[in-house]
Chains A and B, each alone.
Chain A
Amino acid sequence: AQSVSQHNHHVILSEAASLELGCNYSYGGTVNLFWYVQYPGQHLQLLLKYFSGDPLVKGIKGFEAEFIKSKFSFNLRKPSVQWSDTAEYFCAVNAGNNNDMRFGAGTRLTVKP
């Protein structure tokens, strides 16, 4: 069964610092990869997604992620975080044509002003 691992449970950064959140998955076939963000008190929003093509995916709000197939990874990055990026970030994997999506445990990002 597919699984998703997010290694960082809570990350604390100062404004303008660079961000990288790790995401690894276990599945040998074709995968679709997603990063979602959940701001306090709000519902999940899609940051970016990868289905095929260029492994470097750019999303909203200056986020990007790189799919490295050999490492089964899809890490999220942002060069300079803002206080408003404080939120919970979830990596998710959908395997090929399967219906269901598996979520990682989430990483809480706190950005100090």
Chain B
Amino acid sequence: GAVVSQHPSWVICKSGTSVKIECRSLDFQATTMFWYRQFPKQSLMLMATSNEGSKATYEQGVEKDKFLINHASLTLSTLTVTSAHPEDSSFYICSARGGGVGNEQFFGPGTRLTVL
């Protein structure tokens, strides 16, 4: 199946700093990428949807100035958590969808962010 990678797999940062998370589709071109957030023992919450070359569409309640998403190529999307605070600590998961049939999304392994 299609492979999606995320880097880093985990990151610890100080409050007030910014953190960038990369999401890559390794063997297919992802026309659309999605960013989710998963709190401990809870489900995935969609944060935003990004299409290559255009601005991301954010879900209600998600601050676009805090969670900057860039989808500059068909294989790479980045999520930057700006001025991170302890409440931003979470598991961030990306998924990617190609242009083929089926609307299937392929998920990355996730990035655990801990803000001290």
| A68 is an interface residue with CB less than 8 A from chain B | no
Is B93 touching A105 in the complex (CB atoms < 8 A)? Answer: no
Q: Which of B1, B105, B108, B110 has the largest count of A CB atoms less than 10 A from its CB?
A: B105
| A70 is an interface residue with CB less than 8 A from chain B | no
| A104 is an interface residue with CB less than 8 A from chain B | yes
| A54 is an interface residue with CB less than 8 A from chain B | no
Q: Smallest CB–CB gap between B32 and chain A, Å?
A: 6
Chain A residues within an 8 Å CB radius of B49 = 99-100
Which of B42, B46, B109 is close to A101, meaning CB atoms less than 8 Å apart?
Answer: B46
Is B102 touching A104 in the complex (CB atoms < 8 A)? Answer: no
A61 to B83, CA, bound (A): 43
Instruction: Scan B80-115; emit 1 where CB is below 8 A from any A CB, else 0.
Output: 000000000000010101000011110111100000
Beyond A32-B102, A101-B103, 17 additional contacts (C-beta under 8 Å) are: A42-B109, A43-B108, A43-B109, A46-B104, A49-B102, A49-B104, A51-B102, A51-B103, A94-B103, A99-B32, A99-B34, A99-B97, A100-B34, A101-B105, A102-B46, A103-B43, A106-B42
Chain B residues within an 8 Å CB radius of A108 = 41
Chain B residues within an 8 Å CB radius of A94 = 103
Q: Smallest CB–CB gap between B41 and chain A, Å?
A: 8
| B44 is an interface residue with CB less than 8 A from chain A | yes
Is A90 touching B44 in the complex (CB atoms < 8 A)? Answer: yes
